[in-house]
Amino acid sequence: MKIQGIQGSLTEVKCDVLIINLFKGVTAPAGGTGAINKALDNLISSYVIEKEQFEGELNKTYVLPTYGKLPADKVVLVGLGESKKFDLNKVREVSATALRKAQELNAKTVCTILHGAGVAGFKPGACAQSIAEGTLIASYKFDKYKSKKEDKNNKVEEFSIVELENDKIEQINKGIEKGKTIADGVNFARDLVNEPAGELTPSKLAQTAHSLKGITCKILEKNDIQKLGMGAFLSVAKGSNEPPKFIHMTYKPKNPKAKIAIIGKGLTFDSGGLDLKPRGSMVTMKDDMGGSATVVGVMSALPTLKPEVEVHAIVAACENMPGCSAYKPGDVLTAMNNKTIEVDNTDAEGRLTLADAICYANTLKVDKIIDIATLTGACVVALGRFASGIMGNNQDLIDDLINAGDDGGERLWQLPLYEDYFNSLKSDIADFKNAGSREGGAQVAGIFLSKFAQDTPWAHIDIAGPAWLDKNVKEMPKGATGAGVRTLINYILSL
């Protein structure tokens, strides 16, 4: 889809579908919607609003044919909800709703009003960015394995944001570019997660990371990983025929203001290992590399966004399988920092791979470490699919990430990391175990990771819920979501 800002009047643009909007409770539309109302002989105010009782409720739509009274073929009126509750996240949401309606109507060319720039008074660039993000995230489809592409006929080809004032066009186009780069990062991550585990092996993930433009990438093979003493990571990989890959990507600008590491859990498949998962829990476990897809998606966007921050992205990629050399319950593993771990449950594998990745990040002398992982079912139980859990050892970092998420349309909810959670990880024979109490399971995993982060400011984001949706939520269609890409990009841009 081509997406652009154009100078012109809504009453003069030619397109299949023209998108306009209405706040809740407005009976006499003004601005762009007012102009269209006038051109349609007050059809919107006297018929749609008064007779049909269209009240501008959030995400409600009303389709009007124009019968030649406008160059646009059809008008889609989208409700913005209450004006006091309106923000840039709602701009993303209504943009997605409007796009879906336009697709239903088989539109090839779509023009839209700049939601949010009128009564709500947001900057044109920010509104355009949110429209681009909402539209491109909603238009995503993973259909590469469909022999018949279902919706060949309802692909929008050209999408234009229409603005009367010429001096705003440049800001709008800049906003669109930024939104497009971010949405491309999100959609790239979704492609990786949606790809079946039989295809997207650790080797394929490493190749993909290596192919990113403007990013350097070092791949450590099994021997190198062994030399570094990553006994926890290597043990998880033992039950699979697919070789593990330790991926280290770097984005390095000329004069970086900060230096951070982002670590993504990269289990390209999690069968549970010898503590095998039941089929219902295993069926979506190709998504257990969601964290790694997120950091790859973030890295793919950085060369275009050009933040003045040095970013290291790290993925300990492998499969958790119950093959005959698989690691066993009761085994004692030694991580890169020489801590010993007794295996209580082979299905608590993510924290083992992350432990060594965090130790490795510490050798890079970064100012901050953020890990992002589909780590625990407990986090899904606690927060559902609408928020990721966040915890860590530094409140400022956690607050900054929560705010970056809010701005980007992603929710993070802090969970406490009391030292008491460590009690259930006590081991009789090693320094500690990899699993313990099911109660507070997300925090138990968090406290385990904290033993590897040590004093570096560190935050852990558990995306086990939001990484995968089985129905559409706001701008996000079901399937892989690329959870965390927008949060991490916004955070990096804020440094």
Q: Let me know: does 199 contact 155? Beta carbons within 8 Å.
A: no
Residue number, nearest CB to ligand BES: 377
Q: State the DSSP code for 166.
A: G
Beta carbon of residue 442, minimum distance to Mn ion (angstroms, whole number): 13
Beta carbon of residue 473, minimum distance to ligand BES (angstroms, whole number): 16
- Candidates 467, 456, 17; CA nearest to 261 is 456
Query: Among this protein's residues, is 84 annotated catalytic?
Result: no
What is the rounded distance in angstroms from the CA atom of residue 5 to the CA atom of residue 19? 14
Two tokens, residue 40 = 């349609």
Beta carbon of residue 84, minimum distance to ligand BES (angstroms, whole number): 36
Question: Which one of 98-106, 208-216, 289-297, 344-352 is the stretch in contact with Zn ion (CB under 5 A)?
Answer: 344-352
Binding partner of 377, given ligand BES, Zn ion, Mn ion, none, CB within 5-8 angstroms per partner class: ligand BES
Decide if residue 93 touches Mn ion (CB under 5 A).
Answer: no
Pick out residues in 249-268 that bind Zn ion (CB under 5 A): 267
Beta carbon of residue 285, minimum distance to Mn ion (angstroms, whole number): 8
| Per-residue contact string for residues 138-157; x = within reach of Mn ion by CB under 5 A | --------------------
Pick out residues in 248-277 that bind Mn ion (CB under 5 A): 270
- Closer CB to Mn ion, residue 32 or residue 264? 264
Cα angle 406, 407, 410 (rounded to 5 degrees) comes to: 45
Q: Which residues contact 324 (CB under 8 A, 6 or more apart)?
A: 239
C-beta atoms surrounding 1 within 10 Å: 14
Binding partner of 490, given Mn ion, ligand BES, Zn ion, none, CB within 5-8 angstroms per partner class: none
**At 327, which amino acid appears?**
Y
Beta carbon of residue 271, minimum distance to Mn ion (angstroms, whole number): 8
Query: Among this protein's residues, is 14 annotated catalytic?
Result: no
Q: Which residues contact 100 (CB under 8 A, 6 or more apart)?
A: 138
The β-bridge relationship of strands 468-469 and 479-480 is antiparallel
- Candidates 107, 95, 200, 216; CA nearest to 153 is 107
- Closer CB to Mn ion, residue 93 or residue 275? 275
Decide if residue 270 touches Zn ion (CB under 5 A).
Answer: yes
Two tokens, residue 313 = 């992205």
Decide if residue 288 touches Zn ion (CB under 5 A).
Answer: yes
Catalytic residue among 108, 141, 277, 411: 277
- Residues near ligand BES (CB under 6 A) are 270, 288, 345, 347-350, 374-378, 380, 435, 441, 464
Residue number, nearest CB to Mn ion: 347
The helix/strand/coil state of 188 is helix
- Residue ranges with strand state E in 164-253: 216-220, 245-251
Binding partner of 464, given ligand BES, Mn ion, Zn ion, none, CB within 5-8 angstroms per partner class: ligand BES
- Closer CB to Mn ion, residue 16 or residue 347? 347
How many residues interact with Zn ion (rule CB under 5 A)? 4
Q: Let me know: does 21 contact 33? Beta carbons within 8 Å.
A: yes
Beta carbon of residue 376, minimum distance to Zn ion (angstroms, whole number): 9
- Candidates 159, 91, 93; CA nearest to 120 is 91
C-beta atoms surrounding 123 within 10 Å: 15
Question: Which one of 63-71, 183-191, 301-309, 349-357 is the stretch in contact with Zn ion (CB under 5 A)?
Answer: 349-357
Two tokens, residue 139 = 């238009």
Two tokens, residue 320 = 């958790």
- Closer CB to Mn ion, residue 163 or residue 347? 347
- Candidates 75, 82, 71, 26; CA nearest to 49 is 26
Beta carbon of residue 107, minimum distance to ligand BES (angstroms, whole number): 37
Q: How far is CA 302 from CA 191, 212, 309, 477, in A?
A: 18, 10, 10, 25
- Closer CB to Zn ion, residue 288 or residue 342? 288
Binding partner of 345, given Zn ion, Mn ion, ligand BES, none, CB within 5-8 angstroms per partner class: ligand BES
Two tokens, residue 359 = 């130790």
- Closer CB to Zn ion, residue 161 or residue 357? 357
What is the rounded distance in angstroms from the CA atom of residue 230 to the CA atom of residue 216? 22
Q: Let me know: does 103 contact 154? Beta carbons within 8 Å.
A: yes
Binding partner of 380, given ligand BES, Mn ion, Zn ion, none, CB within 5-8 angstroms per partner class: ligand BES
Q: Let me know: does 411 contact 386? Beta carbons within 8 Å.
A: yes
Catalytic residue among 351, 368, 451, 486: 351
| Per-residue contact string for residues 347-366; x = within reach of Mn ion by CB under 5 A | x-x-----------------
- Candidates 409, 388, 355, 412; CA nearest to 464 is 388
Beta carbon of residue 265, minimum distance to Zn ion (angstroms, whole number): 7
Question: What is the binding site for Zn ion (CB under 5 A)?
Answer: 267, 270, 288, 350
What is the binding site for Mn ion (CB under 5 A)?
270, 347, 349
**Catalytic annotation, residues:** 277, 351
